[in-house]
Amino acid sequence: MAPDRRSDSFTAGQTIPRTALVIGGGIAGCAAAYALAKHGIAVTLIDRAPQLASAASGNPRGILHARFGAGDNPLHHFVREAYVHALGLLDKVLPVDGVMRAECGLLQLACNAVEQKRIARLAEQEWPEHLLQFVDAAQASRLAGVEMSYGGLWFPTGGWVVPPALCAALVRDARISQRLGHGVETLEKAVSGWCVGGRDAQDRAWSDEAEVVLVCCAHSAKKLAPFTHFPLIPVRGQITEVLETVSSKALRAVVCGDGYCAPAVGGVHVTGATHAFEDISTEVRAADHAENLMKLAEYAPVLRQALGAEDVAALNGRASIRCSAPGSMPLVGEVQSGLYCSLAHGTRGLLTAGIAGEVLAAQICGQLPPLPATILAALNPLRRVHFPLGAQSAPYQNVPLQRERNNG
């Protein structure tokens, strides 16, 4: 039986809005803007930073890492659907060129008891070879180009992308205009939709209105009144850049264990990333570089040795704040009439933001959604946010907020 893709938000013949505001210039916001523009909606993309992908979407490279689970639950089904959708979206907007995107393949190594059990359970099911393959240590070594101590899963279409380039490609549409350097401080219900306002980079007041508003600004959404009670958790992640060596230059696939290491581009490998809850510092720390390299030594010891001795205090890297929510599912859907969100994509934003944008576009335009009803229910923010008595239906009108310039 085909999965039921109907949802409570599906309304045949629903009028498509003409205008939309999207708050947040990272992957989630750009993907939402892209999906709406395809339906002919005029979109204004707003971010407090002077350029797109300034926060968690700003890493020099991002890994297409889909950690499949064998269980029959909405999260596992969602990750699978999101991965397939992400590959198709990337082929449309950011084709493989070896510079902004590489389809070099990705190994997930059975490097500990938890991964061995997960991969063994996956092996009990049938999988298309173009999606994933099961490999032993010798096969993994040949695929990676460097000796691997473990076998695991091989994703032939996996690889890496440059997230800022993906963001730029998604909004390369005449129907999408950008208001960068504009911090959002207020979000209010208006007669014909919603109104947002704030201060720009020159401290000048500004405001804009549209029929619908999509909030895609990660943890900063909690500064906006309708999202105060959303369970958004900041998670700090730091990547480490390591210069390639004669030996490490042989690496030709992304290798993943409790972390990842990507092949060198421009003479630099990227490895990471740390995972620290409730830490909002973006300072690059030598201790986190050491942690990334220590983990690499555990799941790929020969590769770690190939990189040679490193002075962690001298390494370059980048730290950013991702946004997560309990249960690891993003929060995607309608919050109030005309107000929607795509939040808490965590470490999976490159995989999940695209299909989340399509979910929102389908809800806004009254079309059949791209996911089964069971997954839509798990994404639905109103089913997972615990509002104080009376708060959910409160008309968030004329509720100014203290100046906040961290939306993005």
Q: Which pLDDT value is given to residue 88?
A: 98
Q: Which pLDDT value is given to residue 386?
A: 80
Is the Cβ–Cβ distance between 397 and 189 less than 8 Å? yes
Q: Which pLDDT value is given to residue 70?
A: 87
Q: pLDDT confidence of 3, banded at 50, 70, 90?
A: low
Is the Cβ–Cβ distance between 17 and 211 less than 8 Å? yes
Q: pLDDT confidence of 13, banded at 50, 70, 90?
A: low
Instruction: Scan for tokens 């490097």, then name that residue.
Output: 111
pTM of structure: 0.92
Q: pLDDT confidence of 390, banded at 50, 70, 90?
A: low
Mean pLDDT of 339-358: 97
Closest CA to 69 of 121, 134, 129, 133: 121
pLDDT at 400 > cutoff 50: no
Q: Indicate where the chain has its CATH 3.30.9.10 domain(s).
A: 106-156+234-324
Considering the segment(s) 1-103+158-230+327-391 as one domain, its CATH architecture is 3-Layer(bba) Sandwich (3.50)
Q: Which of 9-13, 65-69, 82-86, 284-288 has the lowest mean pLDDT?
A: 9-13
Q: Which pLDDT value is given to residue 4?
A: 57
Q: pLDDT confidence of 12, banded at 50, 70, 90?
A: low
Closest CA to 177 of 44, 8, 323: 44
Q: Which pLDDT value is given to residue 71?
A: 86
Beta strand spans in 110-201 (E):
133-135, 152-155, 160-161, 176-180, 182-190, 193-200
Tokens describing residue 139: 């096969």
Phi (first) and psi of residue 297, to 5 degrees: -65, -25
CB neighbour class for 324 (10 Å; exposed up to 12, middle 13-18, buried from 19): buried
Q: pLDDT confidence of 393, banded at 50, 70, 90?
A: very low
Closest CA to 296 of 318, 323, 333, 271: 271
- What's the distance, CA 317 to chain centroid? 19
- In terms of pLDDT, which residue wins out, 317 or 4? 317
Mean pLDDT of 156-167: 98
Closest CA to 226 of 346, 335, 69: 335
Cα dihedral sign for 168, 174, 176, 180? positive
Q: Give the separation between CA 74 and CA 46, rounded to whole angstroms.
A: 31
- Average pLDDT over the chain, rounded to whole? 92
pLDDT at 391 > cutoff 70: no
Closest CA to 296 of 306, 287, 286: 306
Mean pLDDT of 354-359: 98
Q: For the CA atoms of the chain, what is the radius of gyration?
A: 21
Is the Cβ–Cβ distance between 329 and 74 less than 8 Å? yes
* Consecutive H or E run containing 107: strand 106-109
**Residues 360-381: tens digit of each pLDDT:** 999 999 999 999 999 999 999 9
Phi (first) and psi of residue 289, to 5 degrees: -60, -45
CATH number for the domain running over 106-156+234-324: 3.30.9.10
pLDDT at 10 > cutoff 80: no
pLDDT at 262 > cutoff 60: yes
Cα dihedral sign for 164, 314, 296, 262? positive
**Residues 121-150: tens digit of each pLDDT:** 999 999 999 999 999 999 999 999 999 999
**In 274-319, where does DSSP find H-type helix?**
286-299, 301-307
Tokens describing residue 150: 């473990």
**Residues 264-285: tens digit of each pLDDT:** 999 999 999 999 998 999 999 9
Q: Indicate where the chain has its CATH 3.50.50.60 domain(s).
A: 1-103+158-230+327-391
